[in-house]
Amino acid sequence: MPESVEHAFLTETALDVMQEASRSQLFACKESGRKRFDFSCDLSRDWVRAVSGQTLWRHDRDGIDKDLRTLLTDPEASAVVYVARDAVATRGRVEEVIRDYRNSPLRPNLPKLRIFWVPADFDADNEEGRKVVRGGLRHDMHRDLLLTVALGGLSKMDVREFARSGRMGCSPWLLAQIAKDGYVGNYTHASKRYGMGIPALKEELLRLQLTGMLSREENEHGLTAVTGKGRAMLDICSYLYVYLSGAAPESDEVLYICSLLGIDFSEIDSNGQKVNFDFYRYKKEDLLPVSRAGNSTLILNCLYWSSQYGEIEWPLPQYGLVDG
């Protein structure tokens, strides 16, 4: 059966969405050999994770089974994507196949599967329809795929808990120091190194562990290094700190990803004034208290006060893929 216009559009859109998001430079994206998939790419930070995907528009029951089996048996993929037409019969067959796989050797691979549904009446020849479907895929793939795979599973709640410490500014500073040192070590030595009392240090480390930004496992040094989620949080803090200081251009891609994490500085300034550290200096008395503040205010507070603990290097994230 020849490929439909809708099938081709959805396939290219899924790949375009990931490549567009990589312009944030919070991660890199490069199309890889499609092999047996409709689309595949590599997402890179200080690792490379493969993402493979299939597009469903006019398959029969056996075609759905084949698609899902092909995806779930890919040994190289860290995540597999199914972009599918949202019809009752299709949903029923997909759920049936997944139910069968829960009792098969493929069960461990099911968490890698992400399904993005497209309205059944989508017509790729309709410009407004293309716009609506692309916007929906962009939002869903950013939230459910890119945040999870490329940014370590970072969520709105993680950001909130990270930034709402009573020691305002301590979380990014401490996380940056641990990332630089590579490990925490025992509490006595770490307390001296970071200039913090042991009770305060333990409390802040526990906060970082509970949000998944610091591993709870131990190696020969004690608590291990910052996790992938923690490094993603540091990268976002780096961009925001430089941006709020007025030294970085506005990045639509980064700010969109931030909005999915509840960070939207337009929420703070009702007059349309660009929010930066100058805005904070003059308006901080008008901001909500920490107990009632949103993520935007909490992060602004946190980054503004981080320097009281010491210097932090805030380089803009610049991830790329090496050819070869």
Question: What pLDDT is recorded for position 76?
Answer: 87
- Mean pLDDT of the 208-219 span: 81
Residue 241 tokens read as: 């700190």
pLDDT at residue 323, rounded to an integer: 42
Q: How far is CA 208 from CA 158, 173, 190, 263, in A?
A: 9, 12, 15, 19
Q: What are phi and psi of 79, to 5 degrees?
A: -150, 145
Alpha helices in 126-218 (DSSP H): 127-141, 156-163, 170-181, 187-194, 198-210
Band of pLDDT at residue 134, cut at 50, 70 and 90: very high
Confidence of residue 80 (pLDDT cuts 50, 70, 90): very high
Tell me the average pLDDT across 205-209: 90
> How far apart are alpha carbons 104 and 167 in whole angstroms?
49
Q: Classify each residue of 73-86 as buried b or exposed e, where b means 16 or more C-beta atoms within 10 Å of its C-beta.
A: ebeebbbbbbbbbe
pLDDT in the model for residue 108: 92
- Under a CB-based contact definition with an 8 Å cutoff, are residues 57 and 10 in contact? yes
| Least-confidence region, from 22-36, 131-145, 150-164 | 22-36
At residue 96, φ and ψ (nearest 5 deg) are: -65, -45
What per-residue confidence (pLDDT) applies to 118?
96
Question: According to the per-residue pLDDT averaged within each range, which of 79-83, 191-195, 294-298 is highest?
Answer: 79-83
pLDDT value of position 289:
62
pLDDT at 247: 80
Quote the pLDDT of residue 223: 58
Beta-strand relationship, 48-56 and 39-44: antiparallel
pLDDT band, residue 97 (cuts 50/70/90): very high
pLDDT value, residue 116:
96
Are the C-beta atoms of 78 and 51 separated by less than 8 Å? yes
pLDDT in tens, 228-248: 899 999 999 999 998 888 887
Q: Would you place residue 324 in the very low, low, confident or very high pLDDT band (cuts 50, 70, 90)? A: very low
pLDDT at residue 146, as a whole number: 86
Strand partners, 219: 222
Average pLDDT, the chain: 86
Residue percentage of the chain with pLDDT more than 70: 90
pLDDT score recorded for residue 272 = 67
* pLDDT recorded at residue 322: 43
DSSP state letter for 214: B
As a whole number, mean pLDDT of residues 26-42 equals 86
